[in-house]
Amino acid sequence: MIFLSAASLLIACIHNSKVPDDALVYTVEVTGSTDTCHTDGSMDGGWQDTFEYAVSFDASSADLYMDGEPFAAGTQSGCNLTYQSVVIGADDRAAGAIKWQLTGAAKLETDASGDACVEGDTEWLGTETITVISSEDDAIVPGCTYTMSTVGDYIPPEG
């Protein structure tokens, strides 16, 4: 999917920071659920991939990393984490320039102790939505969205 692959590359170029040692780490499965951007039906079967998310906290502020690279910033209030990426631009010569932004919300447990934030055996449960901000591709309309569910498990630190 053009949106997520471009995000990894562009955010990596913007930031040179590494995941802090005290970050909480989760294996998160991301599954596409609702797509208003691809009216040709190309994403009707959904999309699914697994990433390693790390979350570093400073009071209620949070920095998120995907597979070791800066991904988004947000806030935490109790069990609830909300986050947003910067506006990301992709220049696909075949499709034209596309700018988009990801917003997310998740309930998360900060360890595998089973606190009551998320029911069941998972420690991360949420949604992410990619919103197209602008597009030079006539097939992708600004304001269209791609919504994904996120489900993950806490990875305890080694040692």
pLDDT tens digits along 135-158:
888 888 999 999 999 999 999 888
How far is residue 132's CA from residue 29's CA, in Å, rounded to a whole number? 22
Q: What is the pTM of this model?
A: 0.82
Tokens of 133: 């901000």
The pLDDT tens digits for 10-58 are 444 444 568 999 999 999 999 998 888 877 766 666 789 999 999 999 9
Tokens of 61: 């502020």
∠ CA(11), CA(33), CA(12), 5° rounding? 5
CB-based contacts of 125: which residues, under 8 Å, 6+ apart? 106, 107, 108, 118, 150, 151, 152
Closest CA to 35 of 159, 141, 150, 153: 141
Q: Are 85 and 72 in contact (CB under 8 A)?
A: yes
Q: Which amino acid is at 19?
A: V
Q: Where are the domains of the chain?
A: 2-155
The pLDDT tens digits for 78-110 are 999 999 999 988 665 555 688 999 999 999 987
Q: Are 30 and 50 in contact (CB under 8 A)?
A: yes
The pLDDT tens digits for 49-82 are 999 999 999 999 999 999 999 999 999 999 999 9
What confidence score (pLDDT) does residue 89 get? 83
